[in-house]
Amino acid sequence: MSSLSTTAVLGPGPRTGLRGRLKLVVHQIRYEQLSFWRNPQSVSFTFALPVMVIVIFGAVFGGEQQDSFFYGLSGMQYFTPTVAALSVLGACYGQLAVTLSIRRQNGILKRLHATPVSAWTYFLGLLAHCVAVSVIDVVLVIGTGALYGVALPTHWAAIVVTLLLGVASFCALGVAVSSLISNSEAASSVVQFIQFPLLFISGNYFPIHSGLLNSIAGLLPMRPFNQALLGPFAQHTGFQWHQLGVLLAWGTIGTLIAVRRFRWDPRPE
């Protein structure tokens, strides 16, 4: 966590008026960006992890030979979009759930709630920050995949829409999960307990050829996100409407839980 003061960045401001609200949104986005970039260790791991994963997969599955194990794609054609999806999940769900849990327990959220920053302004700032981090991660993954001969995608509109919906949905789920975490010490364990099984059964680390597991994973948010990116990334298809619908449904569920259960104050010991 950065030691940067929220009130120092935001300062006093009006609660009403379009100009005042927009100013608060800009200040909140700036605060989130400053908090993130002033923690070089967190920045390094955030951007290095997906690149490291794609490099490892490139060393193991390098080459352009297509294989039925990867659904008729080469290994790197398959892993480039799935690692991109993994990086979005980490930036939007994992980091957000842990960060909010820490800020709640440290009293930052309680103090912030007493400032002119409304709830929607605060979460819009978080969403914009997650979009920025996810875009950088995805660009790094695509660039690294290109070094192994993976062609650049052509259906950019489908990719942009899928990424934005994925960011919004996983942010909503991250906020929802943070509201269920009792204390910051348990945050990482709770997040990983959900995240790792989800990634494995969704095919992020290797393709899943079990019909039963694919059916189960298809009802969860990660596999539809993978499939929605695989289409325009590697299979030269456009929007994957069914997968986007599942992702939207999970984003809606996360939003409803977050709205109902989110707490600004830490739970009493």
Structure tokens at 242: 């069914």
Can you give the pLDDT at residue 2?
Answer: 41
Tell me, yes or no, whether 266 lies in a domain.
Answer: no
DSSP 184: G
Per run of 10 residues, the mean pLDDT along the chain (length 269 residues) is: 40 58 86 90 90 91 76 89 94 92 92 85 92 94 91 89 96 94 89 93 92 95 95 84 96 94 80
Tell me, yes or no, whether 232 lies in a domain.
Answer: yes
Q: For the purposes of burial, counting CB atoms within 10 Å of the CB of 118, is it exposed (0-12), middle (13-18) or buried (19 or more)?
A: middle
Tell me, yes or no, whether 3 lies in a domain.
Answer: no
- Rounded Cα–Cα distance for residues 201 and 198 (Å): 6
Locate all alpha helices (DSSP H) within 114-240, ordered by sequence. 119-147, 156-180, 187-202, 211-218, 222-234
- Please answer whether residues 115 and 10 qualify as being in contact, where contact means their C-beta atoms are separated by less than 8 angstroms: yes
Tell me, yes or no, whether 176 lies in a domain.
Answer: yes
Tell me, yes or no, whether 239 lies in a domain.
Answer: yes
Tell me, yes or no, whether 267 lies in a domain.
Answer: no
Q: pTM for this structure?
A: 0.87
Tell me, yes or no, whether 8 lies in a domain.
Answer: no
Can you give the pLDDT at residue 184?
Answer: 87
The total domain count for the chain is 1
Can you give the pLDDT at residue 249?
Answer: 98
Tell me, yes or no, whether 1 lies in a domain.
Answer: no
- Rounded Cα–Cα distance for residues 191 and 90 (Å): 10
**Domain housing 70:** 14-261
- Rounded Cα–Cα distance for residues 242 and 166 (Å): 14
